[in-house]
Amino acid sequence: MANLKVNYCGVEFKNPIVTASGTFGFGYEYNEYAPLDEYGGIASKGLTRRPRGGNKPPRIAETPSGILNSVGLQNPGVEVFAEYIMPGLSEQFDTNVIANMSGNTIEEYVEMAEILSETDAAIIEMNISCPNVKHGGMAFGTDAAVVEKLTAEVKKHSQKPLVVKLSPNVTSITEIARAAEAGGADGLSLINTLFGMRIDINTRRPILANNTGGLSGPAVRPVAIRMVNEVYRAVKLPIIGMGGAVSGADVIEFMLAGARLVALGTGLFAKPDLIFDVKRDILAYMERFKIDDINSIVGAVELNQA
């Protein structure tokens, strides 16, 4: 039997397939199409310190090979998740839960890490693509010094492995990755969405009410693969790769680039039971190339020499 088990930050995943935060709710809706137990892990909807209603609609727009979203982190708040949602997930499903959190101040991140540390979540994923309200609104994840400081402070208060989710909207993804590593992160996940915009040519107004949004889906996959490989070669932290994976071949590609786990996201909107196809294709690939252990392909890409 081919081994699909992966150890990520000391946590055993039954297979390398997880879900991307913001695309899977809290899992219950998708369980009607494919049991959550099929996944190695699921990432929660992005949690904030207080409940958020999100942005006004329209907040989703289709694009060629992807979507733009400006949902605005609509969620019930970290305390509701910890008290009412996480207990149900751990009781009903045999899968790891990655609790994703977003904050506007270091203090908010610290408070959420403390709350989530008391739950059965396996890993805390820290989204740093958020505006730092104490420093003019610039996203935490665009300043290496801020990333290191934030990571170091949150790590002090997290009793779970801390994974930092990186934004691709930076000059150097490796600089930010090294900063997170220096701050004590246990792992990294990348990429988050790319900034994008669509305009209705009839009204001459942006389609999204918020004007711009995050681009996800197959259109961003080549960017994600490149960044995952760059980060893999720059740091020693394990990586969760994401950004347009919609097939078993895509998962394999991310793993060859350096990802240990790979998240499905936008593809689940079109095919909620995509996990079955992905797992079947991975096993077929392993059989074809006589691979006994999926871990053996992590970072195995052979780069061309100039």
pTM higher than the cut 0.85: yes
The domains of the chain, with CATH numbers, are 6-56+75-195+217-297 (3.20.20.70)
The verdict on whether 9 is a catalytic residue reads no
**pLDDT tens-digit map of 182-198:** 999 999 999 999 999 99
Catalytic hit among 85, 130, 150, 180: 130
18 with 261: CB under 8 angstroms? yes
Query: What's the confidence (pLDDT) of residue 130?
Result: 81
What is the per-residue pLDDT for 137?
65
pLDDT tens readout for residues 242-288: 999 999 999 999 999 999 999 999 999 999 999 999 999 999 999 99
Residues 139-153 have a mean pLDDT of 95
**199-253 pLDDT, tens per residue?**
999 999 999 999 999 999 999 999 999 999 999 999 999 999 999 999 999 999 9
What integer best gives the mean pLDDT of the chain?
96
Per-residue HEC secondary structure of the chain comes to: CCECCEEECCEEECCCEEECCCCCCCCCCHHHCCCHHHCCEEECCCECCCCECCCCCCCEEEECCEEEECCCCCECCHHHHHHHHHHHHHHHCCCEEEEEEECCCHHHHHHHHHHHHCCCCCEEEEECCCECHHHCCCEHHHCHHHHHHHHHHHHHHCCCCEEEECCCCCCCHHHHHHHHHHCCCCEEEECCCEEEECEECCCCEECCCCCEEEEECHHHHHHHHHHHHHHHHHCCCCEEECCCCCCHHHHHHHHHHCCCEEEECCHHHHCCCHHHHHHHHHHHHHHHCCCCEHHHHCCCCCCCCC
Residue range 16-29: average pLDDT?
97
Instruction: Reply yes or no on whether the pLDDT at 131 is more than 80.
Output: no
Q: What percent of the chain has pLDDT over 90?
A: 96
Rounded to whole angstroms, the Cα distance separating 298 from 135 reads 38
Q: Could you report the per-residue pLDDT of 27-58, keeping only the tens digit for each?
A: 999 999 999 999 999 999 999 999 999 999 99
